Chains A and B, each alone.
Chain A
Amino acid sequence: MFEGVKGFFPPPYDPKEPVDFSSGKFLKMWQGPQHPGITGNMSLELAIAGDTVYDCKTHVGYLHRGFEKLMERRLWMQNFPLVCRIAVPEPDFNEYCYAQAIEELAGVEVPEKAKWLRNLTLEMIRLASYLMWIGGQAGAFGHGTIIQWSATMRDYVLDLFEELSGGRIYHMYIIPGGVRSDLPEGWTAHALEVMETIEKNLDDIELVMFHNAVFKMRAKGLGVIPKDWIDRYGITGPNARAAGFRRDLRKDQPYLVYDKLDFDYVTAEGSDAYDRALVRLGEMYQAIDLIRQMLARMPSGGEFKTALPNPLHWKIPAGETYVKSECTRGEYGFYVVSDGSDKPRRVVVRGPSYTHAVSVMETLVKGQNIADVAGLMVSLHTYPPEIER
């Protein structure tokens, strides 16, 4: 049997071996920023030998708009059109964290109805974001059908947002003191119909994707995050829950009306790409259930916003706070410092991708096959804008 020329192919992966491009053994390959297998505007600088990745550096900055700097130069209220753009598929978590931080510093009380409406939008956008993710995850392993289904389902959720706020992608619905409007007439019935449609579609997705031999073979055992990495790397969200950690800010430190809703942690044990996908699928069903619970239990009447001072002259008392929420990727927070003026002194956005896409990705990808890099990256569910802000 022909065994090839000895020494022609590189030896098996040895993580201790230094990458020396002058040896001629390694090839530098860029994945992104324009690449179907990359999540958003970022790139991975890979050092490969054969088809094995030996080293990786994450590069961000392609979408840097200086959000945090811009916010220091604008009035508190003028920042609302900015904050929602920090995480495109999930603008509402930014709106909520920023509004909640202002309310805490200014001592503004939010009406009960507004809390329910805020909570409703956060779960709706969770569902929409996961629908976008699952299309990417399936696509990274060669399943072109799932993205067509899930993009359609996401559009149905965006229709609901459009009816509610006037905007499909950026809603600017959550504002300090409450929300911009109550539910429109007939909206609840429409929302329940959409939830039923999406639930049926999720059943199909589960059948086609999670029981598919190709997806199982490629995702199982891919990118296993050891349990002791969770705190060492600051890993949160489904990436931590797929490693068996029962950690979810909605349960651990309930905000808005999460303490009034019935739900549990969605966890898994394998901590690989497959289990992370399973956790997210479980949380999609959970989001549908939570939306139904909220629509059934939400108070029908009542104020949905508190009267605020003139936003053009609104000075927030000096102080600082850190407000966080559980977004689809984990801990999403705003650290806000006020010096008592009409503009923020400092706003820091804490996005989970900061560690998932840089420190975790750079370490986890070593030793992987280049064909699996895209699937691994999507399985970490990262968004570059929240890294570069």
Chain B
Amino acid sequence: MRTIPADIAERFEVGPLVEKRADLSTLDVDSKDVPELLARLRDRHGYRHLSFATATDLFEEGVFVLTYMLHNHEERHSLGVKCRIGRENATMESCHLLWEQMWTYQREMKELFGIDFPGSPRVDESFVLEGWIDIPPMRREFDTREYSERTFPTRPGRSTKDPATHMKEKLYPEAL
């Protein structure tokens, strides 16, 4: 059973260490502590590898959960550091100085969720959605179908058929 290292428990307000598997745990922390905690985990506790950083939109609670997945190669253990930030004007401190690929994840979160990371390199450059002007598409309120119908309207002159009715007409014309 893993426990939170003493220096981390003393220094930061952290939640319980939740063991998902023998080689995977998660730890909830306050968002303001994230950069320092990540640096400490990297430098003093062997979590030198960043697997990914991402966000989950908890629309109903009005928060984003940010997850930083670290890995300790010696102990063969992954640790997901999680924090919550408000959805309105979502801003998080940048951690791009800790890992060289972090700025890309932050740039992606800015584009797809609208979470800002002030000071992160090229954070305002588009990543995969060149010329995107709608709300960030990974937010839960973004309706893909509505967007699609609004942006790519059916051209006049075309008729569409309900697939179920079409198949009935084709297979059982006598029943109609």
Question: How far apart sit A70 and B23, CA to CA, in the bound complex (Å)?
Answer: 29
Q: Inside 8 A of A229's CB, which chain B residues have their CB?
A: 100
Question: How far apart sit A263 and B142, CA to CA, in the bound complex (Å)?
Answer: 48
Do B128 and A234 touch across chains, with their CB atoms under 8 A apart?
no
Interface 1/0s, chain A 295-322, versus B by CB < 8 A? 0000000000000000000000001111
Do B127 and A359 touch across chains, with their CB atoms under 8 A apart?
no
Nearest CB to that of B24 among chain A residues?
A: A322
Known: A73-B144, A234-B50. A320 touches B26 (CB 8 A): yes
* Shortest Cβ distance from residue A164 to the other chain B in the assembled complex, whole angstroms: 30
Question: How far apart sit A61 and B101, CA to CA, in the bound complex (Å)?
Answer: 18
* Shortest Cβ distance from residue A337 to the other chain B in the assembled complex, whole angstroms: 5
Question: How far apart sit A233 and B50, CA to CA, in the bound complex (Å)?
Answer: 8
Q: Inside 8 A of B50's CB, which chain A residues have their CB?
A: 234
Nearest CB to that of B104 among chain A residues?
A: A358
Do B104 and A335 touch across chains, with their CB atoms under 8 A apart?
no
Q: Does B9 sit at the interface, judged by CB under 8 A?
A: no
Q: Does A354 sit at the interface, judged by CB under 8 A?
A: yes
Do A331 and B51 touch across chains, with their CB atoms under 8 A apart?
yes
Categorize the interface residue count of chain B: 20 to 34
Do A66 and B137 touch across chains, with their CB atoms under 8 A apart?
yes
Nearest CB to that of A232 among chain B residues?
A: B100
Question: How far apart sit A221 and B12, CA to CA, in the bound complex (Å)?
Answer: 46
Do B101 and A68 touch across chains, with their CB atoms under 8 A apart?
no
Do B104 and A359 touch across chains, with their CB atoms under 8 A apart?
yes
Q: Does A60 sit at the interface, judged by CB under 8 A?
A: yes
* Shortest Cβ distance from residue B22 to the other chain A in the assembled complex, whole angstroms: 9
Nearest CB to that of B50 among chain A residues?
A: A234
Give which listed residue, B24, B73, B99, B144, contacts A247 with CB less than 8 A: B73
- In chain A between 190 and 233, which residues have their CB closer than 8 angstroms to a CB of chain B? 229, 231-233
Question: How far apart sit A360 and B54, CA to CA, in the bound complex (Å)?
Answer: 20
Do A61 and B144 touch across chains, with their CB atoms under 8 A apart?
no
Q: Inside 8 A of A360's CB, which chain B residues have their CB?
A: 101
Nearest CB to that of B77 among chain A residues?
A: A253
Q: Inside 8 A of B23's CB, which chain A residues have their CB?
A: 253
Interface 1/0s, chain A 319-355, versus B by CB < 8 A? 1111010000001010101000000011010100011
Do A333 and B48 touch across chains, with their CB atoms under 8 A apart?
no
Do A253 and B76 touch across chains, with their CB atoms under 8 A apart?
yes
Do B100 and A321 touch across chains, with their CB atoms under 8 A apart?
no
Interface 1/0s, chain B 95-107, versus A by CB < 8 A? 0000111011000
Interface residues of A (CB under 8 A from B): 60-61, 64, 66, 68-70, 72-73, 104, 229, 231-234, 236, 247, 252-253, 319-322, 324, 331, 333, 335, 337, 345-346, 348, 350, 354-355, 358-360, 363, 387-388
Between A and B, 5 residue pairs with Cβ closer than 8 Å are A61-B130, A321-B20, A335-B69, A350-B51, A358-B101
**17 other A-B residue contacts (CB within 8 Å) besides A69-B138, A229-B100, A234-B100:** A61-B126, A61-B128, A61-B129, A61-B130, A66-B137, A68-B138, A72-B140, A104-B20, A234-B99, A322-B20, A335-B52, A348-B54, A354-B101, A354-B104, A355-B101, A358-B101, A388-B127
